[in-house]
Every structure is written in structure tokens, then in C-alpha cells.
Amino acid sequence: MLSACLHHGLEQLAERWGSDNTQVQQRLSGLFISVLQEGQEQGVLNNQVGTPILLDFFYGLLLRVCQMHLLRGRAGRMADQHGVLFDMLWRTITVSPAEPPVPVPAAAKAPTATR
């Protein structure tokens, strides 16, 4: 699911760079938040930070990679590399099998609104 979200995000950035898609952005953020929170509750994703921080990490990485791709004038579509990029991102936000799960503090859980 997160891999599909990354691919979708890369496609959307390429198609709509600089345009305002507030409703689309809110729906996508809501989807991300729910998937990330579920992953934290299941002990798959790092729960030592709040769910909104994981979302910001995801978006921040996506934005930086896409910006630099454009600024460097690289050929090709970033979406074509979504598998490799997702694998890199996944390794940074998942819990290592050797790590014991940490209880999620109530304050770290996502608020009902994404912003």
C-alpha cells in the first residue's frame, strides 16, 4: 500500500508540480495517516515518533528527491524508480525484527485532522 502511495505521489508531482490540490492532498494525507497508524499499532512501523512525523518524513523525502531530480535536470521519470525508492524508505521507517515493540503513547497518535 505504501509503495503504491509513493508511486502515486511521484506521478502526481510530475503531473501537477506547483498546482494547489487541497482536497486531493487532504484525502491522500488521510490515507497515509491511517496506513501509517495501522502499521505502528501492529508493530511494523516505528512508533517512537508520532504518526504525523512519519507522514512528514515520507513527504519530506518524496519532495526532496523530486526537487533534486528536477534541479539536476535528470532524464527519465522518478516514478520509474518507485520500487527502489520505496525499499529505501521502508527500511528507515520499519521496526527491526530484533527491536522489541514500544507501546505507543496516546500523545503520539495521529489527531483526527491531518493539519
Q: What averages of pLDDT result for each successive group of 10 residues across the chain (115 residues)?
A: 58 56 78 90 91 89 86 86 87 79 58 49
The answer to whether 29 touches 114, Cβ cutoff 8 Å, is yes
Give a yes or no: residue 101 inside a domain: no
φ and ψ at residue 3, rounded to 5 degrees: -60, -45
**Parent domain of 61:** 2-15+22-95
pLDDT, residue 16, reads: 56
The answer to whether 50 touches 41, Cβ cutoff 8 Å, is no
Alpha helices in 17-71 (DSSP H): 22-41, 51-71
Grid cell 521519470 in the structure block, residue: 77
Grid coordinates given for 42: 501492529
pTM above 0.75, yes or no: no
Give a yes or no: residue 72 inside a domain: yes
pLDDT, residue 90, reads: 87
pLDDT, residue 39, reads: 92
pLDDT, residue 115, reads: 44
Tally the domains of the chain. Answer: 1
pLDDT, residue 29, reads: 81
Give a yes or no: residue 113 inside a domain: no
pLDDT, residue 110, reads: 54
Give a yes or no: residue 66 inside a domain: yes
